[in-house]
Structure 1
Amino acid sequence: MKDLIWPKVVGGLLVCLSGVSFAAGPDAAQLELGKTLFKTGAVPACAVCHTLEDAEAIGTIGPDLDELKPGFEQVKKMVQEGAGAMPAFAETLDEKSIDAISAYVVHATGGTQ
C-alpha cells in the first residue's frame, strides 16, 4: 500500500508544476549587446559614470553598480527616465537596447531579474 502513495505524490507535484512558467534568462547575444551599449553605445556611455567590474568601468559620478546589485526593473526605469545627474535614454535608445543594458547590468552584478 505504501508503494502506491509515492507515484500519486510525484504525479500531483508534476501537475502543479505544469502550470508554472519558468522565465528564461537573457541569452548571450542580449548580454553582449548590453555590454557594448554600457561601455560605448549609449551616449553618454554608462561606463563614463558608473563602476562595473565586468565592463572594466571605473566611473565615480553614478553609483557603483557592483555594490548596488540593482534589479532588472530598477535598472530599466533608471535608463528610461534618468534621475539626478543621469540623463533619460528613452528618446535615444529603443526598448530592445534598454532591455539589453538592464539584463547585462543585472547579470554582471548578480542582481535580481
Structure 2
Amino acid sequence: MGTALFGLASTGALAQGAIDEGQKLFTQAAVPACAVCHTLRHAGANGEVGPDLDELRPDASRVEKAVRTGIGQMPAFTGLTDAQVKLLANYVSTVAGAGR
C-alpha cells in the first residue's frame, strides 16, 4: 500500500479510497473485526463489548496505539501491516462522531 492511500486529501479529510479501505479493515479484514466489538456509525457497526467510538472520538495516535498493543479486553492486532494500522487509525479518527 502506498502512502497516498492513507494520506490526507487537500481538504484535510481522508481521500475516499482511504475511507473505503479503512472501513473494510474495520468491518472485515482485521481479525477479529473491529465492528464485532465497537460501535461506529459510519461502518454500520453496533458492537457492545468495546467503547462506542462515535462517543469516544479517539485521535489517530490513540487508535494506532490500541491496535498495536491492545487495551483491556482488546487484543493487539499483530497481523496488520504498519500501513494497515495507520489506515485504520486514520479512518476511525476521521469518521468517529461524524454526523452527530
Alignment TM class, shorter chain as reference: 0.7 to 0.9
Amino acid aligned to 1:83: I
Q: TM-score, normalised by structure 1?
A: 0.72
Residue segments in structure 2 that go unaligned for 5+ positions in a row: 1-9
Matched, 1:29 2:17: yes
Does 1 or 2 have the higher relative contact order (CA < 8 Å, sep 6+)? 2
1:92 aligns with 2:76: no
* RMSD value, Cα: 1.9
**Counterpart of 2:76 in structure 1: which amino acid?**
A
Aligned residues: 89
SS at match of 1:74: helix
In 1, Cα distance between the equivalents of 2:15 and 2:57?
20
Higher helix fraction (1 or 2): 1
SS in 2 for 1:84: coil
> Is 1:40 aligned with 2:40?
no
TM-score (norm 2): 0.81
Identity %: 43
Among residues 55, 59, 67, which one is paired with 2:47 in the alignment? 59
Q: Unaligned stretches of 5+ in structure 1?
A: 1-21
Q: CA deviation at 1:92?
A: 0.2
Partner of 2:6: none
Structure with greater Cα Rg? 1
What's the CA shift for 1:43? Answer: 0.3
